[in-house]
Structure 1
Amino acid sequence: MDLQKIKENICKTGFKLEHEIASILRTEGWILITNRYYLDDHEESVREIDILAYKCRKVSGIPVYTAIIISCKKSESNYWALLSRDIEINDPNTNWQPFKGYSSDNATSYYLVQPDWEENYHNRMIKMCPGIFSPPEVDIFAFQEINKEKSTCQNDKNIFNSVTSLMKAQAYELNILNTSNKNRKKPVVYQFNLISVIDSELIRLKFNNDEILASPIESEDYLSKYILNKKESTSRIKFITAKNFKEKIKEYSTLHIENAQLIEDLNKEFFKDIIQSHEKTRVLLQDFREAIDKHLWSPYYSTTKKALNLENIDITWNQKTNEAAIELDEPREIVSALNDDDTCIRAAKKALLEVYKYTGDVCFEEALIF
C-alpha cells in the first residue's frame, strides 16, 4: 500500500479543493452544510451539491439568512474558457438584476412582490457590494474546457454540470422553503447566491466582430436563463478561481450585514403609519381578526350579548379624528356601546399593538356595506 501515492492522487481530485474552500468559509464565520443531496425530479436521479454555506442574523424578531450554494471543480489538464460578447443592457428578454430569495415574514413579503423589488434591491446592494451586484462586464453565451498542453477544445461537460447543479440545488432549496408548513408559521427571510469555484485558470474569450479577444480572469458573472418546473427564471452565477476565493468571499460577509439591515429597514417602513395604508393593513388583516377574537371576544359578548362575527371586521383610518377605526357590521347602537366600554377599547388596542404595532387611539365604526 503506497500511502504517499494515495495522498497525491486524492489531491488531484476536487476533494482537497472542497476542504480548502470549506476552511476559508468557516474562518470567515459561515456555517456549512456539506455534501447535501437532493432529488433531481427532472432526471429522476439523486444529485449532490458540494457546499451550502449560510449566515444568520435576527433583526426585528426575524431570522435573516444569507446563503451561498457552491460548486467546487478541479482541472489539472484543462483551462475553463467562458465565451462571451458585449452585453445588451436594454435587452427586454434578459433580467440583469435577478433576486433569489424567500420570505415568510408578511412585512418583507409585501415588498418582495412589488414590480420594482429586484431593481431597488440591486441599487441598494451595489453601493456596499459592487463585486457581487455590478452589471456583468460581458454576456456569456457558451463554455469550453481547453487543454493546457495542446490548446484544443475539449467539451463543456464539467462547466455545464457545475452550472446546472447550482441552479437545480437553488430551486430545490426554494421549493422546500415554499412548501414547508413549519417555516410558514415563523417569520424568516432567505437570500441565495451561487458560486462556481474552479481550481484552474479562467479565460475570457470575447467575440468582437471578426476577432476574439482572449484574456485571463479571476472571476466572471454569468446570467443563466433556465426553465424549471415549467417556469422561466434567471440566476446569477459567479465563476471564481480557487486562488481568488478567499478575497472574494469577504464581500459576501458584507452582503449578509446589508441584507439584515435591509430587512430591518423594510420592517420599520412597513409599520410606519400602517393603519393609514389600506393596502398594508390588508396584508395582516387575518392576523388582526385572530387577535381581535383573542382579546375582544369576552368583553364584546359582555357588552352586546352576541358572538363576535370576525368575517366582517376590517381596519381603517378615521381622518376626522386621526385614529384607527375598527369597522363592524353591526347597528349603530352596538357600535356606540362598544365605544363607551373601556374594556372593549383596551382589548382593541391590544390587538392593534400585537399585529400592527400601533399605539394610538382607536374607535369602533359601522362598516359601509356595498
Structure 2
Amino acid sequence: MKSKHNAVEANDCAKYEAEILKTGFPLEYETARMLREAGWSYISNKFYIDDLEENVREIDIVAYKVTHTSNFDVYTVLVVSCKKNDMNAWAVLSRNLDRASPNNNLTPVHAWTNDRALKYMMQPIAKWEKVYHDRVRGLGVKEVLSEPTSDIFAFQEMRKSSGAPDNDKQIFSSITSLMKAQAYEIDSLGVRKTTPCVYQFNLVSVIDTDLVKLNFSDQGIKASSVEYEHYIARYIIKKREIFSRIIFSRVGAFPALLEDYGRLHAANTKMLSETCSSFYDGVLKDYYRRKVFLKDFINAAGWELRWEVRIGMGHEIDVEKITLSFNESDDCAIVGVDAPDAAVDILNKSDRAKKQVKEVLLKLYRYDGPFRFEVDDIPF
C-alpha cells in the first residue's frame, strides 16, 4: 500500500512533466531525435568561451555526418539552435534583393581542411564559393544552399495575440550563438585535428513557434506564413567581416531540410574528393602547385641526394636550392640541383637516389612518370 507521502510525490511528478513542456527542452529532444533518425551523430549542450566577452556560451546541438575517403575524412556539420516561444511569433522583415550589389555575398561557404592540396584548390575563397555552390547543386542539393529570394534586413518578435512588436532578443541570441559557435569550432580544428579531413559547416535555427515573413515594397507591407527562410548574416568576428547562411526552420519543416542536408553530405563527399584529386592532374607542370609540397620534397629526398654526391665526388650540394620543374617537350619531370655537371651525372646513375626521388614524387605529387636530374642554372 502506497503512503500518502508517496502519493504526493506522484502528483508532483505529473506536475513537473506538464510544466517542463513549457520550456525549450522538449524541442531540443525532438530535434535531436530527428537528427538521429536521419543518420546524424550529435553532441548536445556544447559549451565554449566567448573570446570577446570572456563568458561561457552554449550551443544546443552540433550534429555531423562523416564519410571516409581515400583522400581524407569528409565531415558535414550542422550547428543547431533550438528556440521555443509560446507568446511570440518570429517575423523576418524583407525587401527586394539587389543581386548585383558588391556588398552582398549570396554564396558563403564555411569549410576547413588540413589537406594542403584541397586547401590550395579552395583559393581564392570568393571564386571557390561560387564553384562549390554550382557543383553541389548539380549533385542534387535542392534547398539548403539555394540563394535567398529576398533581402532580410531586420527581425521582430511579435505577439501572437495582438501582433504587437516585442523586440528581437531571442532571435538575435539565436543568430549570434550560431555564428560564434561556428567560428569557435573552425578555430579549434587546427589544434585538435591531425588526420587528413575536411569540414563543411551549416547553421540552422529550429523554432517551435510561428514564422512570418513581412515583405516591404513601394506598394506596402505584405505578411505571409513560411515554414523556413534563408538569411545571409553579416557579422564582425575577430575584426573580420563574416557572411554566413542561417536557415530559420519551424520544427515541422526540419525533417525535409534534413533530407536535403543528407544530399549535401553526399555531394560534399563527391565534390571535395574530386576537387582534391584534380589538384594532382598535371601538378608538376604548374609552378604554384609544385610549390605546395616543394619543402616536403626537399626534406624527404634531399638528404639522399646530398649523400650520393658527397660519397661520389666529395662535393656538398645545397639541398635548400633543389628545384622541381617539368619539361613538356619530352614529358619528363626535372629535379634541379645547384651543383657541377659531374654531380648531376652521379645522381642520374645512382639507383638509390632515383629510388628515393621516385618514392617521394609518388607520395607527395602522385607522380610516377619519368624524371631526371639536371643542373639548376636559373641565375636568380
* TM-score, length basis structure 2: 0.93
Relative to structure 1, the CA distance from residue 280 to residue 80 in structure 2 (aligned partners, 3 Å threshold; closer, same or farther) is: same
* Structure with larger Rg: 2
Q: Does 1:92 align with 2:102?
A: yes
Q: 2:13 maps to which residue?
A: 3
Shift of residue 343, structure 1, vs aligned partner = 2.4
Where do residues 156-305 of structure 1 align in structure 2 (5 Å cutoff)?
Answer: 156-178=168-190, 180=191, 182-183=192-193, 185-293=194-302, 296=305, 298-305=307-314
Identity in percent: 39
1:18 matched to 2:22? The reply is no
CA contact (8 A) 1:96 1:223 kept: yes
- 1-structure distance, mates of 2:215, 2:348: 73
Report the alpha carbon displacement of residue 369 of structure 1 after superposing the two structures with TM.
Answer: 2.7
Q: Structure 1 residues 50 and 294, CA, compared in 2 at 3 Å: closer, same or farther?
A: farther
Q: Is the 8 A contact 2:136 2:271 kept in 1?
A: no
Residues 295 and 351, structure 1, Cα contact 8 Å, conserved in 2: no
1:260 & 1:137 partners in 2: Cα distance? 28
Residues in 2 aligned to 1:323 and 1:193: alpha-carbon distance in whole angstroms: 44
In the TM superposition, 1:290-369 aligns within 5 A as: 290-293=299-302, 296=305, 298-307=307-316, 309-367=318-376, 368-369=378-379
Cα distance per residue 1:223-250 (max 9 Å; x no partner): 0011010011100000000011111111
Q: Which moved more, 1:77-86 or 1:58-67?
A: 58-67
SS at match of 2:345: helix
SS of match in other structure, 1:133:
coil
One-letter code aligned to 1:124? R
Match of 2:3 in 1: none
User: TM-score, normalized by length of structure 1?
Assistant: 0.95
Asked if the contact 1:71/1:196 (under 8 Å) is kept, the reply is yes
Q: Which runs of 5+ in 2 are unaligned?
A: 1-8
Contact preservation (8 Å) 1:106, 1:187? no
Deviation at 1:186, TM superposition (A): 3.4
Structure 1 residues 243 and 288 mapped into 2: Cα distance closer, same or farther (>3 Å)? same
* Local SS of the residue matching 1:232: strand
Answering whether residue 117 of structure 2 is matched by residue 107 of structure 1, we say: yes
Change (3 A) 1:167 1:40: same
Q: Which runs of no fewer than 5 residues in structure 1 stay unpaired? A: none
1:83 corresponds to which residue?
93
Q: Does 1:60 align with 2:64?
A: no
Partner SS for 1:336: helix
8 Å CA contact 1:312, 1:328 repeated in 2: yes
Count of residues paired in the alignment:
367
Q: What is the deviation of 1:159? A: 0.5
Runs of 4 or more off by more than 6 Å in structure 1? none
The reply to whether residue 43 of structure 1 matches residue 53 of structure 2 is yes
CA-atom RMSD in angstroms:
1.5
Change (3 A) 1:120 1:340: same
